[in-house]
Amino acid sequence: MAKHPRFEITTDKQGKFRFTLTATNGQVILTSQGYAGKPACKNGIESVKTNSAEDSRFERKESSNGKHFFNLLAANKQVIGTSQMYASKASMENGIASVRTNAPKAEIEDSTKG
């Protein structure tokens, strides 16, 4: 059975709501910040769907250890989500392409209670 891209809503140890965007192969391609409430978390998901269409909203970065990653920014330049670390710029660009492809059609899966 083929998997679908999805946003999964979870809670962390501090009780904050977070989402991850997972590609069809099951790999996590974007992780959110912690949100105080589920409605704010769902707004963050909608923001990913909207902002991922614009390449200029992807902030490409290099960490101090030479790994590459990206942040997806909202119109106000606030970070909506952060990628994993990539060994090369090319693999980071593939990650950005994956977010752009998967985010608009991703289903929402809520793993939280209530």
Q: What are phi and psi of 16, to 5 degrees?
A: -85, 150
Structural domain boundaries, residue 18: 6-110
H/E segment holding residue 40: helix 38-51
- Which residues on neighbouring strands pair with residue 70, listed in sequence order? 60
Flag whether 54 is in a domain.
yes
Flag whether 10 is in a domain.
yes
What is the domain-level CATH number for residue 78?
2.30.29.80
Mean pLDDT over residues 35-42, rounded? 96
**Predicted pLDDT of residue 82:** 98
The number of domains in the chain is: 1
Q: What is the pLDDT of residues 57-94, one digit of tens each?
A: 999 999 999 999 999 999 999 999 999 999 999 999 99
Flag whether 101 is in a domain.
yes
Flag whether 1 is in a domain.
no
